[in-house]
Amino acid sequence: MFNKVLIANRGEIAVRILRACRTLGIGAVVAYSEADRDSLAAQIADEAICIGPADARRSYLCAPALISAAMVTGCDAIHPGYGFLSEDEGFADVVRAHDLAFIGPSAEVLERFASKEATRRLLAAHGLRTVPGSAMLRDEAHALAEAERIGYPVLIKPSGGGGGKGMRLVRNAQELESTFKVSRSEAKAAFGDDSLYLEKFLEENRHIEIQVAVDRFGNAVHMFERDCSVQRRHQKIIEETPTPALNEAQRLDLAECALKAVTAAGYENLGTLEFLVDNKGDAYFIEINCRIQVEHAITEMVTGIDMVALQIKIAAGEPLGIAQSDIVATGHAIEFRILAEDPAKDFRPQAGLVGAYLTPGGPGVRMDSHLYPGYEIPTYYDSLLGKLCVWAPDRATAIARGDAALRELLVDGVTTNIELHRAILANQVFLDGKVTTSLLDRVGSAPFVAAGSR
Amino acid sequence: MFNKVLIANRGEIAVRILRACRTLGIGAVVAYSEADRDSLAAQIADEAICIGPADARRSYLCAPALISAAMVTGCDAIHPGYGFLSEDEGFADVVRAHDLAFIGPSAEVLERFASKEATRRLLAAHGLRTVPGSAMLRDEAHALAEAERIGYPVLIKPSGGGGGKGMRLVRNAQELESTFKVSRSEAKAAFGDDSLYLEKFLEENRHIEIQVAVDRFGNAVHMFERDCSVQRRHQKIIEETPTPALNEAQRLDLAECALKAVTAAGYENLGTLEFLVDNKGDAYFIEINCRIQVEHAITEMVTGIDMVALQIKIAAGEPLGIAQSDIVATGHAIEFRILAEDPAKDFRPQAGLVGAYLTPGGPGVRMDSHLYPGYEIPTYYDSLLGKLCVWAPDRATAIARGDAALRELLVDGVTTNIELHRAILANQVFLDGKVTTSLLDRVGSAPFVAAGSR
Amino acid sequence: MPAREQDAAQVKRDHAAISSLADELLPALIAKLAASGLGEIEVREGGWKARLRKPATVEARPAAKPAAGAQGSAHGAVRGGAALARAEERDRRGASDEATADAEPRIAAKSPAVGIYNPRKDLAVGMKVRSGDRIATVNVLGVNEDVVAPVDGVIGSSLVEAGEAVEYGQELVRIELPEPVADPSATAPGRETAGTAGKA
Amino acid sequence: MPAREQDAAQVKRDHAAISSLADELLPALIAKLAASGLGEIEVREGGWKARLRKPATVEARPAAKPAAGAQGSAHGAVRGGAALARAEERDRRGASDEATADAEPRIAAKSPAVGIYNPRKDLAVGMKVRSGDRIATVNVLGVNEDVVAPVDGVIGSSLVEAGEAVEYGQELVRIELPEPVADPSATAPGRETAGTAGKA
């Protein structure tokens, strides 16, 4: 096991990794930018080190700063969290070159799964159904020809993007023509890579993902699925497990196929395979996330497995220590992403000084957050304030418990989406378990906001 | 199911009952004394009503005030929580006389189990081993004769007391003579009843209790045991489940015997049978608690059952809805009672204005509390500030997680026993699972306090 | 970590710190907050802190729930800290008074229990009462508990209707102090309750 | 529930409230806190609040962790609120200064990166430097990043040893401003570091 881990991230996940290290009895150093000097992780850590200015490119995205911080504090491993450098094979490689462990897949594994398009081909070869898509697009003419072959509507997707970033929907050739160049230059600016591909757009789909864990010895398990269909502009806002969209046989079949394919393709460490599931229950693989995910907590609630601790153990070269038959998912869990954004004003990100702050308690309630009263939310990073997760023996009780917990959650000083969550919970489509990924964008948030302010 | 419940209690349990009502979708009214006007329960409730002055005898112990409050707010049930009137058969009776439901056993059941001495005889008749004890003591001569028969050391116990209150240990006839009168007048003053009895004092015992639930239709289940051996002057401070003192067969045997006996004796609603277990693993029944207990949360963590919701359902006349075979205890849970008392100053109760207050999060962590920043702790009631509970797949991980959570828990402005908990967690006797009920009193808290301030 | 006892020297230092705080820091603090548009500013001098805070949106809300059965807004005291919320509660009550009463302390007969309010049949605005006079009862499960006038004075406006549910300590009937000057137009400031305004 | 925009009338009311707060309430508040032995008092006037708080036991602790590898005490900013904790941090730094520097702004060359500190071989207390002069480097994975003097001045005491690990933004070497008066005894207030005190 490691001696000491550098936590190369911020916000709630930095606190989460710190908790995992403490439970494992290993040291931890929180690396923070100047804007995060007063962050909860930096405050409660035994050790914390300032790695650079607020600008992430010079702090959380700066490999030399992070590696130097790990070395001067005597760390032997770096946990990258999610986002930032968590899936960067170059970073993983240079970490290893400095005799440090990267807590995640090896550089080779990250490289193999770095291109979405190549990953789709690789996993298709191992038996997963994929969304009909194009090769990398050479030019506009090629794009038009490929779109014709696949059939509209199609999504233009940057190869370097992730989490829905930079995607554009086009419904016909005219839209494709007017969008292609913009998409290319946006991709270049956002990801430093202007490669684009097309993917058939499955309307009324659900987003379902399978959690897997694979150790160095080839032991591999899945931890069932998460349904992340409640999205706004391809950003997840509510996740739940199990999915209400599939029956028991479909769920297990999807999980087993995903695990088999990804293991055969040589994956290692924690990973998540994302699928779009159509209204017939057919699942199309879309991408893999080679890191811990925001929504890992609901899987922890139903399985009882500390996934961050497991990830650290795998990276330290330990065997999984659990077999598939040991993993039982019990009950139903829902995560609500608490975001500093104003649903009434087009979800504009909000800043502010946190005033009164009080988290809910009671059975089956978990709040992972980096907030505290008096905390000033920096404007440099994302709008995630925390994750309220609830568990109950069944979905209806989980929803009731979630609503009760959301009512208790108090975050003064900054506008949040707490009331939007309550409105979604009260919506019949959600209660029926029939939310699709486009629902919020199609309906707009206005009805929910209006309902929420009742 | 009920329409609206009056919460006739305060502190963390009032908040807990409110959460259960919300999850069940039923209304709730928090009844509060003048001293609790700013309490969390009164603040976050949809409805709250002042029932009397700070003095509990004129508020939380005042049956007419509570019943009147229930009636004027349109409640159809009263939840008494723990302590106060929760096991008072007279209160249960008058509640029913006003066409309200008492959330707990019926007045008849409470009356049958009201006398500890009679309960011991009743359950002994149904097969439970009991601690050798006396009949009700007529006078000092009778006490001396009975003590001689049972064998010293003996405990003098008031029949009306509970939770260890008013008990005295005497090791020989001289001590008994010098203590008898005092005990009698203390019992009279504290419980309005000067009946005393003797019980053999089992040295180096463990305190283990069995949780049961029985509905009106005779359906009965147990929810395994809790080990409450970490005590100070007969007050529990740490509880855990499962007990490290018994093996699987012993645990199940005790739970099944307890359930069988108490069901045969006509018990109904939630209840807890308390046992002393000697170093041979033999369990002696000592008393039954006819109410929800402070430490119910750890049973909730291992079984996934919302016990307060279950209690409300049973009182509403619904069937249990779960069979014994549905109840599986998974993993290990520990509760730490966070108390406003100073371990370095003979555990003197502490008052104060809560300053910074921040609760831990992450997997398997639950904090039930009525604190908030700016809350002024009233001096009229008990010193319980909250309950930090942790769950993990195994005891060692639960201990590590508990320590990490205790480190994160921040309660400024009032002296607490948080560091004492950490010191106990680090103690080898606790790590070995060998704490007996007398350990803290015998060793004294000084070594723990000293260790805690390292 | 027992809190250290405050010794005499510490008290002296505290006093000195307070003086310097008042003279030097507070004016600057106030000027800064007025200019900044911020909600709260805090400055510090030798371990002391002074904080100035603007009203938050929660200001107007009651800290405690209204009586029996009414809906209140959540988190009142939790948002502001209990002591603060109590001050807000006082203000809120003050604001609902008639303008003429602003300078005077508010006096009211309060409920001795949770129950149903029943005023004396002859209770009327302007009626003279002595401290301890029974002016109403609260029915608690069939038992009438007396509502008494807390001071000598004149019955003012009723704050609840006959037959309404009231909670313990709830203000029921205002008691006006007798006017020092015998100006007839000033004797009964509260007129909204029907009844014969007897002359004090 | 969008925050309401502050209009001109509101600003005016705020200013009036502040004036009244300063004149009437704060002196009373201060007197009360000094007499009471309480940790914190807050009073309120027309929606504004003034709060006076005594030092808590956490006061002396640093808000942020010391550099690389050192143990800090938990919850600094969390206890006091971040803005407050920053003020405490500044005070803490100030308190470690020499008494002579109290009235002056503190100036230091800071670390441009996380790494190992290496001063220039010829760096010595009293050495004259110009803004932008390289006075040391921080070695980041083999790459030396320059530590430059932020102002024209004179090298003061070193705050870290050669070869020590430093974090981003850490103060490394104090820079004293040239004395306006040529009093030789006052040029180099920091003498604890070995080296030849060159004359400014």
Residues D72 and D162 in one domain: yes
Contact B45, B32 (CB under 8 A): no
Nearest Cα to A426, choosing from B26, C74, B25? B25
Q: What stretches of A120-160 adopt beta strand conformation (E)? A: 154-158
Enter the tokens of residue A212. Answer: 């897997």
Interface test with C, best of A358, A359, A406, A412 (most C CBs within 10 A): A412
Specify the DSSP element, H or E, that contains A391.
strand A384-392
Q: Which domain holds residue C104?
A: 65-177
CATH code of the domain containing C160 = 2.40.50.100
Nearest Cα to D188, choosing from D96, D94, D101, D93? D101
Relative to beta strand B27-33, strand B4-7 is parallel
* One-letter identity of residue B104: G
Percent of chain B with pLDDT over 70: 98
Mark out the alpha helices in C43-175 (DSSP H runs): 76-80, 82-95
Specify the DSSP element, H or E, that contains B402.
helix B395-408
Residues D199 and D151 in one domain: no
Contact D120, D134 (CB under 8 A): yes
Inform me whether the pLDDT recorded for A243 exceeds 50. Answer: yes
Residues C19 and C89 in one domain: no
* One-letter identity of residue D67: A
**Looking at the domain assignment, is residue B121 inside a domain?**
no
Residues B311 and B385 in one domain: yes
Q: Which residues of B touch A358 (CB under 8 A)?
A: 372
Sign of the dihedral defined by the CA atoms of residues C79, C80, C85, C91, in that order: negative
Residue found under tokens 């400031």: C189
β-bridge mates for residue D48, sequence order:
D45
Residue found under tokens 């259960």: B20
Sequential DSSP letters for B107-151: HHHHHHTT-HHHHHHHHHHTT--B--B-----SHHHHHHHHHHH-
**Looking at the domain assignment, is residue A127 inside a domain?**
no
Residues A179 and A234 in one domain: no
Active site residue A291: yes
| Neighbors of chain D by Cβ distance (3+ pairs < 8 Å) | A, B, C
Per-residue pLDDT reduced to its tens digit, A132-162: 888 899 999 999 999 999 989 999 999 877 6
ipTM of the complex: 0.79
Measured between alpha carbons, how far is B25 from B4 in angstroms, rounded to an integer? 9
Residues A233 and A196 in one domain: no
- The residue-averaged pLDDT of B254-280 equals 96
pLDDT-derived band of residue D47, with 50, 70 and 90 as boundaries?
very low
pLDDT of D200: 34
Percent of chain D with pLDDT over 70: 40
β-bridge mates for residue B336, sequence order:
B238, B388
Inform me whether the pLDDT recorded for A112 exceeds 70. Answer: yes
Q: What is the mean pLDDT of chain A?
A: 94
| Cross-chain residue pair A366–B365, CB shorter than 8 Å | yes
Residues D73 and D131 in one domain: yes
pLDDT-derived band of residue D186, with 50, 70 and 90 as boundaries?
very low
Q: Which residues of D touch A450 (CB under 8 A)?
A: none
Residues D76 and D173 in one domain: yes
Per-residue pLDDT reduced to its tens digit, C98-121: 344 444 567 999 999 999 999 999
Residues B76 and B186 in one domain: no
> How is residue A57 annotated by DSSP?
G
| Cross-chain residue pair D44–C3, CB shorter than 8 Å | no
Residues whose CB falls within 8 Å of the CB of residue A291, separated by 6 or more in sequence, listed in order: A80, A81, A82, A86, A87, A104, A270, A271
Residues B212 and B293 in one domain: yes
| Cross-chain residue pair B361–A19, CB shorter than 8 Å | yes
pLDDT-derived band of residue C10, with 50, 70 and 90 as boundaries?
low
Residues B367 and B394 in one domain: yes
Domain boundary, last residue among B176, B200, B224? B200
Residues B234 and B281 in one domain: yes
pLDDT of B166: 80
**Looking at the domain assignment, is residue A108 inside a domain?**
no
Query: How distant is the Cα of D100 from the closest Cα of chain A, in angstroms?
Result: 29
**Looking at the domain assignment, is residue A74 inside a domain?**
yes
Measured between alpha carbons, how far is A211 from A298 in angstroms, rounded to an integer? 11
Measured between alpha carbons, how far is D29 from C83 in angstroms, rounded to an integer? 15
Per-residue pLDDT reduced to its tens digit, D67-111: 333 334 467 788 877 655 555 554 544 444 434 444 456 799 999
Residues B220 and B288 in one domain: yes
Torsion angle, alpha carbons of B395, B400, B401, B405, to 10: 140
Inform me whether the pLDDT recorded for D154 exceeds 50. Answer: yes
Residues C149 and C98 in one domain: yes
* One-letter identity of residue B96: R
**Looking at the domain assignment, is residue A121 inside a domain?**
no
Query: How distant is the Cα of C106 from the closest Cα of chain D, in angstroms?
Result: 18
Residues C101 and C166 in one domain: yes
Total tally of structural domains belonging to chain C: 2
Q: Which residues of D touch C61 (CB under 8 A)?
A: none
Residues D116 and D73 in one domain: yes
Contact D129, D135 (CB under 8 A): yes
Residues A428 and A341 in one domain: yes
Contact status of A43 with chain B (Cβ, < 8 Å):
no
**Looking at the domain assignment, is residue A415 inside a domain?**
yes
Q: Which residues of D touch B405 (CB under 8 A)?
A: none
Interface test with D, best of A68, A98, A353 (most D CBs within 10 A): A68
| Neighbors of chain A by Cβ distance (3+ pairs < 8 Å) | B, C, D
Contact status of B244 with chain C (Cβ, < 8 Å):
no
Residues C91 and C131 in one domain: yes
Domain boundary, last residue among A153, A185, A200? A200
Residues B196 and B214 in one domain: no
**Looking at the domain assignment, is residue A302 inside a domain?**
yes
Contact B8, B78 (CB under 8 A): yes
Measured between alpha carbons, how far is B125 from D155 in angstroms, rounded to an integer? 90
- Chain B: residue whose CA lies nearest to C164: B72
Which segment, A82-86, C18-22, D68-72, D195-199, is predicted with the most confidence on average?
A: A82-86
Residues A174 and A216 in one domain: no
Burial grade of C122 (CB within 10 A; 0-12, 13-18, 19 or more): exposed
Residues D104 and D26 in one domain: no
The better pLDDT of the pair B133, C105 is held by B133
Total tally of structural domains belonging to chain B: 3
| Cross-chain residue pair A98–D86, CB shorter than 8 Å | no
Residues D136 and D152 in one domain: yes
Mark out the alpha helices in B267-377 (DSSP H runs): 296-303, 307-315
Measured between alpha carbons, how far is B162 from B85 in angstroms, rounded to an integer? 12
Inform me whether the pLDDT recorded for D57 exceeds 90. Answer: no
Residue found under tokens 């026993």: B417
Q: Judged by CB atoms within 8 Å, which residues 65-84 of D form the interface with B?
A: 74-75, 78-80
Contact B37, B21 (CB under 8 A): no
| Cross-chain residue pair A25–B401, CB shorter than 8 Å | no
Domain boundary, last residue among B157, B172, B200? B200
Weakest mean pLDDT among A70-74, A155-159, B206-210, C82-86? C82-86
Residues D169 and D92 in one domain: yes
CATH code of the domain containing A43 = 3.40.50.20
Enter the tokens of residue A138. Answer: 């050479």
Name the active-site residue from A226, A291, A337, A366.
Answer: A291
Per-residue pLDDT reduced to its tens digit, A301-347: 999 999 999 999 999 999 999 999 999 999 999 999 999 999 988 89
Interface test with A, best of D5, D114, D164 (most A CBs within 10 A): D114
CATH code of the domain containing A350 = 3.30.470.20
Per-residue pLDDT reduced to its tens digit, C147-179: 999 999 999 999 999 999 999 999 999 999 876
Q: Which residues of D touch A355 (CB under 8 A)?
A: none
Residues B194 and B224 in one domain: no
Contact A120, A285 (CB under 8 A): yes
| Cross-chain residue pair B50–C115, CB shorter than 8 Å | no
pLDDT of B161: 72
Q: Which domain holds residue B189?
A: 132-200
**CA-based radius of gyration for chain B:** 21
- Chain B: residue whose CA lies nearest to A396: B23
Q: Which residues of A touch C78 (CB under 8 A)?
A: 356, 358, 410
